[in-house]
Chain A
Amino acid sequence: MALLDKFASTLSIREKLGAAGQDPTSVVIDELISPTEGMVRGRYTILAGTNNYLGLTFDPACVAAGKKAIDELGTGTTGSRMANGSFAAHTALERDLADFFQLPYGMVFSTGYAANLGMLSALVKPGDTVLLDADCHASLYDGCQMSGANLFRFRHNDLSSLEKRLQRLGDEAKNCLLITEGMYSVLGDTAPLAGIVELKNRYGALLLVDEAHSLGVYGENGCGVAEAEGVSGEVDFLVGTFSKSLGAMGGFCVSPHPELELIRYVSRPFIFTASSSPSIIASTREALRQLRARPELRETLWRNANRLYQGLEALGLPLGPQVSPVVAVRLSRDQEPLSRWNRLLNAGVYTNLMIPPASPDGFSYFRCSVSAAHTEEQLEKIISAFASL
């Protein structure tokens, strides 16, 4: 097979994705009106698939912080932190994050994907063992693959499946890294972190939790599911992103282990990537301040999540297992997903379409992510659009 022939199957998939009208993987938002409204193909559209949980992308203080940083520090850093130096704001953000999570060490990466790749490829090596929740994000799988460690999966959120594997490992369990997420991104369900922490302590393993979707969403202070479950001090490595609740772009890890400071020297995705631009760092720092100072944002988010979940549930639609800011509507196997998703878009509602194998259980889903910035009227329009399907 010639080098480029492999793309024939991709072309065929792309043609199928676009056959019903708009290809859901190629939506262009021509104009943004607010964190939850835009213009798509000339039509006013409510954005219900942004992961903009706190709605901070247009927050005046965050926007002003980003503009000021551009004025004072320029548009980019033009290099990696190891080779070209860090800006003071990079290290300040690392201190902000450590302070927020009440942990001694913090490290910033250029994207959430790079954070997982950078942490895992440095933390575990060939000969080490990883036990990973089967529904974990691709970035966690890719990081494990890059590390060359032995990689075993346990059934999603299944403590007995995890313990069975820890038992099988015997003494090797002490040299094992467990990986879960806080809130899972497709169905919005959360990990039983208290139980996972109990197992990791009993077997002497280490635990990495990806709180990408749960930062700013769960916990008394918005630190995530580990905080909500009362085990935040027990997580060895907590990773997350700036591209959801914090409305920017980037990733991070915080940890009680001083070895996090040494990961800077061995993590290739950290060493060989340009550092985040000043405006991103500045708006992220401000968004973190907003998250801490305005718990009402989280209250509004949850009120909106409850309204959408209950509204769609009242229509008799099969939803994800628990109320959360990710509301996933499951399609039956005989419901064609692409044409239905196009009908939603044409009704002025943009959701994320998850189809196998990207969905976790073989079903297709319309994934809605709720924002604190959604108005009651917008939520009613989303529910009405689903009712008209």
Chain B
Amino acid sequence: MNTRFDEIENRIKDLLASYLESSGLPELEQHGAISGNTNLVSDFTLDSFQVMEFLMEMEESFDIMIDMNNLSNAHTVNELAKVVDALLEK
């Protein structure tokens, strides 16, 4: 059964795939499918600017505001989904 958390995680995977494609980053094909464990920096070598850009895309897609001081433990798709889940819970 698809939980709300799964839906959030799947949406982040889709957003990441389209961000990589629109940014002309070639890593997607080499990496294969994006999973919950996909790490934005170590798997796709996104630099800090690109991570910030992607977070802005996430904010707009989920209609949330992500606190920049609250991201120190959010590196993977799964960890980002937890952040989004907690914000939507409020």
Contacts and interface: CB of A to CB of B under 8 A. Distances in A.
Interface of A: 134, 141, 144-145, 148-153, 155, 165, 168-169, 333, 356-357, 359-362
A152 B24 contact: no
Nearest to B70: A150
Interface string B64-79: 0111111000000000
Interface stretch (B7-15, B29-37, B44-52): B44-52
Going nearest first, the 3 A-B pairs with the smallest beta carbon separation are A357-B49, A357-B47, A151-B68
Contact of B69 (A151, A165, A168, A357): A151
A149 B69 contact: yes
B65 A165 contact: yes
A152 B68 contact: yes
Interface size class of B (residues with CB under 8 A): 10 to 19
A152 B52 contact: no
A151 B24 CA distance: 29
A169 B52 CA distance: 20
A325 B52 CA distance: 28
Given A148-B69, A152-B68, A165-B65, A362 B50 contact: yes
B23 interface: yes
Tell me the dominant secondary structure on chain B's binding face: helix
A121 to B, nearest CB: 13
Contact of B23 (A150, A151, A360, A362): A362
B67 A150 contact: yes
B88 interface: no
A155 B56 contact: yes
A153 B65 CA distance: 8
Contact of A152 (B47, B48, B49, B65): B65
Contact of A145 (B47, B49, B50, B69): B69
A169 B65 CA distance: 9
Contacts of A149: 69
A187 to B, nearest CB: 14
Contacts of B48: 357
Contacts of A357: 47-50
A148 B23 CA distance: 32
A144 B49 CA distance: 18
Contact of A153 (B24, B47, B56): B56
B65 A356 contact: no
A150 B24 CA distance: 32
10 contacts: A134-B56, A144-B69, A150-B69, A150-B70, A151-B67, A151-B69, A152-B68, A153-B68, A357-B47, A361-B49
Contacts of B49: 356-357, 359-362
A333 B24 contact: yes
Given A148-B69, A165-B65, A357-B49, 19 more contacts: A134-B56, A145-B68, A151-B68, A151-B69, A152-B65, A153-B52, A153-B56, A153-B68, A155-B56, A169-B65, A333-B24, A356-B47, A356-B50, A357-B47, A357-B48, A359-B49, A360-B49, A362-B23, A362-B53
